[in-house]
Structure 1
Amino acid sequence: MKRLVLGLMLLTISLTILTSCKFNEEVVIIQKNEISFWYGLEGVLGDYVEILIEDFNRSQDDVIVVGHRQGNYTETFNSLEIAIATNMPPSVALLEQRDIISLIKRDALSVLSDSIVDTEDIPDQFLQMFTQDDYMYSLPMYATVWITYMRNDFIDELEDGKDIYSFQELMKVLSERRKISDDESLVFEIINDDTTLINAVMSNGGEFISSDYKEVLIDKPEWIEVWEEFRKWIHEDELIRYYDKNLGWDNYYEVINDVKSGRAIGCISSVSDMDIFSDEEVTPMLHLGWEEGISAPVTYAIGLVIPRNVDEEDKEAASRWIEYLMSPEVSAKWVKLSGYLPGNLNAYETQLFKEYAESNERINVSRNQLSYTSPPYYDPTGGKINEAIIEAAEKLINDNIPAEIVLNEAKAKAQKELDKIERE
């Protein structure tokens, strides 16, 4: 059967060539440039990326994008490092901002053309992060930020429709309710403990590192005050429930399930979780601030890069793929699918987004939060400062160790790594 099929194919090709020659027609074979795209998104988000890839491949005749899913952002970065070292990199990769900055410092990325997108449409904090010596090395496909989710039945019981804007206000309400009813569901929950602690510190005026990049500042009063208060709320007052971070994704699912089932009154989580909760269950709102400080969570960009050792033809094709992803229309489509913040602010002006926002007003919460954020910080140590912060948060939350102790230890460890950079 295989021989019969092959014979028919060869006969067809031969007749086509003979016919073309007979009428002096030129046989033109269109050859598309195939490029690879690595991204660390699984599940539904990974499926959404595949939709964008299929749409792009159908939209033009010159480039074919072949997607390669990785387990997560970290796996993508680790695989990319090996691929660059062995001179076999993908044409385009999607990475977290800290990994992008690390590759920029190592001169491992290609410079992106200003013609890909109007840079005035890109949020300044991301553009600055991905630019060095006036050269742009990445563009943010999207960004994430953390917001507050509160159960509607809890909000409905607030006196006189009072709004809650700060952690202190929320803890006061929970404490007063507990005196009346010893209800275990009168508890707030957090996901990614270190992220929530950091975001509260930003609202309190804290900083990661000095402007000259010579001193780590995580042992300052703005940090200690916030972290110690959280330790008390968790371990002494038991107003905040936590799950051991070693549980990994199970930590996340436990918190989400607690809020959905009413075992908790709310939580702090990513803007992309908005569609997990129904309108009847939960109301999304701006990230809680600290005392009188405004909401100021850190925004984290997920950027597109082209490795330096990609050949010129593939770089050109890769640029076209990035240009497609960064267009207002596609950026708006990604926002609608994923719930993340757009890398191109003009996405908000598209008809697609406006129609979506009319039928889903909650999406405007994420847009409003973008106006109340802290820029991501640059870690000259390649992530060592961040590692020290994460370790300190785990000790405070899991082991109930006072904030001053864990932050002083983290400062010493991080400062040692920063001093190494100074000596090099």
Structure 2
Amino acid sequence: MNKRNKKMKNALLLVMSFVFMMTGVLGCSSDMNKANDAASGQSGNGTPAPQEKVKLEIYYGLGGKLGETMEKLIQDFNSSSDKYEVVPVVQGDYGETLQALQASLAAKQPPALAINRYPEFMKLAASDVLLPLDDYISKPEYNKDDVLLLDQGLYEGETLGVPAYVASQMMYYRQDVFEKYDIDYDALASFEELAEVAKMIKEKEGIFGWSVMWYGEHMIDYARSAGGDIVSEDGKTVTIDSEEWIYAWDSIRKWIHEDKIMETVYGGNGWEWWYKTIDNVMNGKSAGYTGSSGDGGDLDFTQVATGMQKGFMGSKPRPVAVSVMFNLFKDSPKEQQEGAWEFVKFYTAAEQTAYWAVETGYIPIRESAVNTDIYQAKLKENPYLSVPLEQIKTNGIPPYVDPTGGKIYAEIELAKDKVLVQNMPAEQALKEAQQKAQAELDKVLKP
């Protein structure tokens, strides 16, 4: 090789070495820039990088129109929030929701929030797993003075739940059947008079005159509307075997099993029995039923009308007005607790709770919701929308606070099955339940 060629080769090697060196430097610079972009929330072109939303699981057991409406509100929240995404974990009913919660709590992995009825709420409250919410509800943007039944979330001086919606048990009847026989539901003075109407309808139409839900809350309402209570005034004696309880429950039993003028549907998965009861009324197999204010979204009000509950034994009706509650959990990460509360604020704002009310029939949790355009427009279309709110303001009473963590309620549930399904005389079923419930209460009250 001559000197000239050797110099050219050396020059070429030098150039190639320089190129490789610069490629490495530029590559390192590019990697560093990507790392810096990630750390600063920037994409490669300097625009903000999308942040993954914090997932917030919510446990609830709602079906039918209720479930559809809840999903719609969750979607609306997710669309409006850049930081949080609510993920529904749907259970069969409230009881299954409690079971799922207990399993998740035992594993120290609770959801961000859940929706519970009052009895399930009390069990959770007694277990010391719920997050106190007093600091949250005291903030001006929540406006707690506008919220109905907020005090039902109190447990031992702390607010452990806030209303998601308010429920009261209503009476729904077929307008065509009642009009055919010139029956004015509102003029009926008692449940006994309703039973006489049911007997006449069974004789003339060959259908059940009324359907009684396989539901403990309804049976409690009947007993309290006969003048009974769950415990004595001093709170020391369980009184579910009193004359008033026995009268109301045995009347229902006789109308179902002996006179056969009423029916009860039981069993199935989740709320299957509930919706079968409604179907029997809508399909003309029954002239009416006792249901929930939350049935409004599943009913055709060109066929049915809403009435307030009736009393027994000449007593004033005393239906429970109950808050179905949002609960947050102590063991959830702080970020999830904050996100859960953001959803609670969104859901319970006047417009959203009004939307929930007009779609489902449940009572809105805010007084101000009644004045929204969406509520007023629906009220013109369906005047029966206001009946549940009228009932809780006229006759509604708070639920019994079970100091045993739900064990008294559990005995009432067992007795309900014995009377409604097994046709056991109410006196026998209730006396057995009273003894067991009293034993549980004594454990709590003993010094």
- For normalisation by structure 1, the TM-score amounts to 0.85
Q: 1:64 to 1:200 in 2, by over 3 A?
A: same
Matched, 1:131 2:122: no
Q: Does 1:220 align with 2:245?
A: no
* 1:360 paired to 2:382: yes
Residue 117 (structure 1) aligns with: 142
SS in 1 for 2:309: coil
CA gap of 1:254–1:325, structure 2 versus 1, over 3 A, is closer
Unaligned runs of 5+ in 1: 1-9
Change (3 A) 1:35 1:233: closer
What CA deviation, in whole Å up to 9, does each residue of 1:199-232 have, x standing for no partner?
1212122111234432211011221121222222
Write the deviation string for residues 355-396 of structure 1: whole angstroms up to 9, x where unpaired. 121122221122222222221111222222122112222222
Match of 1:102 in 2: 123
Matched, 1:141 2:192: no
Q: How many angstroms does 1:293 deviate by?
A: 2.8
> CA–CA distance in 2 between the matches of 1:203 and 1:195?
12
Q: In the alignment, what sits opposite 2:348?
A: 326
* Aligned: 1:276 with 2:298: yes
User: Residues 225 and 155 from structure 1, CA distance in 2 versus in 1: closer, same or farther, beyond 3 angstroms?
Assistant: same
Q: Aligned in 2, Cα 1:35/1:106: closer, same or farther, shift over 3 Å? A: same
User: Equivalents in 1 of 2:323, 2:119: separation in Å?
Assistant: 9
Over 3 Å counting, the alpha-carbon distance change for 1:26 and 1:409 in structure 2 is: same
Q: Percent identity?
A: 30
Instruction: Please tell me the residue identity of whatever aligns with 1:173.
Output: V
Q: Describe the shift of the 1:101–1:397 C-alpha distance in structure 2 as closer, same or farther (beyond 3 A).
A: closer
Post-superposition, which runs of at least 4 consecutive aligned residues in structure 1 deviate over 6 A? Answer: none
Residue 393 of structure 1 aligns to a residue whose secondary structure is: helix
The Cα shift of 1:398 comes to: 2.6
**CA deviation string 1:4-32 (max 9, x = no partner):** xxxxxx99x97x97xx9xxx996544634
Deviation at 1:412, TM superposition (A): 0.6
| 1:276 CA displacement | 3.3
Of residues 163, 166, 176 in structure 1, which corresponds to 2:190?
A: 166
Q: Give the Cα separation in 2 of the matches to 1:254 and 1:69.
A: 20
The answer on whether the counterparts of 1:139 and 1:343 sit within 8 Å (CA) in structure 2 is no
1:236-284 CA-partner distances (Å, limit 9, x unpaired)? 32222233x3346453344323322322221111222234332332212
Shift of 1:133: 4.3
Distance 2:369 2:152 in 1: 21
- Which residue identity does 2:82 align to in structure 1? D
Aligned length: 403
Q: Hey, what does 1:256 align to over in structure 2?
A: 278
- TM normalised by structure 2 equals 0.81
RMSD between aligned alpha carbons?
2.9
Opposite residue 51 of structure 1, the aligned amino acid is K
Distance 1:39 1:276 in 2: 19
Q: What's the counterpart of residue 363 of structure 2?
A: 341
Larger C-alpha radius of gyration, 1 or 2? 2
Task: Give me the whole-angstrom Cα distance separating, in 1, the residues matched to 2:95 and 2:280.
Answer: 28
Provide the C-alpha distance between the structure 1 equivalents of 2:205 and 2:178, rounded to a whole number of angstroms: 16
What is the CA–CA distance in structure 1 between the aligned matches of 2:298 and 2:168, rounded to whole Å? 16
Alignment pair present for 1:415 and 2:418: no
Deviations 1:29-49 (A, max 9, x none): 463443322222244433322
Cα–Cα, structure 1 residues 292 and 344, in superposed 2: closer, same or farther, change >3 Å?
Answer: same
Residue 79, structure 1, aligned to residue 104, structure 2: no
Aligned counterparts, 1:364-403, within 5 A = 364-371=386-393, 372-403=395-426
Residue 284 and residue 110 in structure 1: after superposition, are their counterparts in 2 closer, same or farther (change >3 A)?
Answer: same
Give the whole-Å Cα distance in 1 for the aligned partners of 2:396 and 2:161.
21
Alpha-carbon contact 2:173-2:305 (below 8 Å) kept: yes
Letter in 2 for 1:172: E
The letter for the 1-side match of 2:116 is L
Cα separation, 2, equivalents of 1:170 and 1:273: 21
Match of 1:49 among 70, 87, 96: 70
**Preserved contact between residue 353 and residue 364 of structure 2 (Cα < 8 Å):** yes
2:332 aligned with 1:310? yes
- 1:304 Cα deviation after fit: 0.9
Is 1:239–2:261 an aligned residue pair? yes
Q: Distance in 1 between matches of 2:272 and 2:158?
A: 41
Map Cα deviations across residues 148-186 of structure 1 (whole Å, 9 max, x no partner).
1111122213458573242111122344566xx564225
* Residues 297 and 359 in structure 2, CA contact (< 8 A), matched pair in contact too: no
Worse-matched range after superposition: 399-408 or 41-50: 41-50
Q: Which runs of 5+ in 2 are unaligned?
A: 1-29
Give the Cα–Cα distance (whole angstroms) in 1 for the partners of residues 67 and 398 of structure 2: 27
